[in-house]
Amino acid sequence: MKILGIATSPRNGANSQTLVEHILAGAREAGATTELVRLCDLDIQPCTGCNTCITGGECILQDDMAELWEKLAESDAVVFGSPIYWMRLNAQAYPFIDRFYAHLKKPEFSCDLPKGKKLVVALTCGGLGPEVLNPVNEYVKNVFQFLGFVDAGFIWQNQCYQPKDLTKYPDKIREAKMLGQSLVK
Ligand SMILES: Cc1cc2nc3c(=O)[nH]c(=O)nc-3n(C[C@H](O)[C@H](O)[C@H](O)COP(=O)(O)O)c2cc1C
C-alpha cells in the first residue's frame, strides 16, 4: 500500500506536517510505503481560469502539478495536512486544489482516478475548536470525494502556535500513529 502525505505549511518544524509524519510512521509500521511532499518545495502555480482544459487543450501551466497528480494517482491513500489560517486552509493549499480542475475530463467533469482511495485530513491551529475545524475537514473531504476518495479519518490539534508545540500532546501523537496503522488494514 502506498500512502502519500501532503503538507501545506511553509514553515520548518510545522505542527501540521509533524502530525502527517506521525500518521505516515504508523502506516509504515503496519507495512505501507510512504512519501511526504511539502507543497512549499514545489512550484504549483495558481489556476488562471483560462479554460484551455475545457476547450480541449492541456493545462497551460508548466510546473510541478503534473508530477504531483501522478503521485496522487499512484497512491492508495492521501494524508493531507494543513495549518488553519483565518478559519480555512492556508494559501499554499488552494493552488494545489484548484489545479485538480484541469485533470477532470470535460464536458462531464469526471475524474478518471480509480475510486476508493482513502483520505485523512490533519489540521493544526491556535485557539480554534471543532466549530471551525469540522467544516474545514468537510470542505477538504468534499473536494477529494469528488475525485473518488473516501473518508478515512480526521485529526486535529489546537494550541499549536510555535513549531514543535505538537510535542506537548503525546496522546495526539499516539492517535496519529494509530490512524496511520488503520489506513493499512
Ligand atoms: C496568517 C495566519 C493566520 C492564522 N489564523 C488562525 C485562525 O484563524 N485560527 C487559529 O486558531 N489559528 C490561526 N493561526 C495559527 C495557526 O493555525 C497555527 O499556528 C498552526 O498550528 C500552524 O501550523 P503549522 O505549525 O503546521 O505551520 C494562524 C496563523 C497564521 C500565520
pLDDT in tens, 172-184: 999 999 999 999 9
161 lines ligand 1 (CB under 6 A): yes
The alpha helices in the chain, defined as continuous H runs, are 15-29, 65-74, 93-98, 130-146, 170-184
Pocket test for ligand 1, best of 86, 156, 165 (most atoms within 8 A of CB): 86
Q: Give the length of the chain.
A: 185
What is the CA(125)–ligand 1 centre distance, in A? 5
Q: Is the pLDDT of residue 112 over 90?
A: no
Pocket test for ligand 1, best of 23, 121, 125 (most atoms within 8 A of CB): 125
pLDDT mean across residues, the chain? 97
Name the domain count of the chain.
1
* Residue 177: all three cell numbers together: 500513529
- What domain range includes position 7? 2-184
Indicate the Cα dihedral angle 95, 133, 3, 40, nearest 10°.
Answer: 40
Give nearest CA residue, ligand 1 atom 24: 14
132 close to 156: Cβ distance less than 8 angstroms: no
Could you identify the atom of ligand 1 that is nearest to the CA of residue 86?
8
Q: Is the pLDDT of residue 63 over 90?
A: yes
In this prediction, residue 57 carries a pLDDT of 85
Whichever domain contains 160, its CATH number is 3.40.50.360
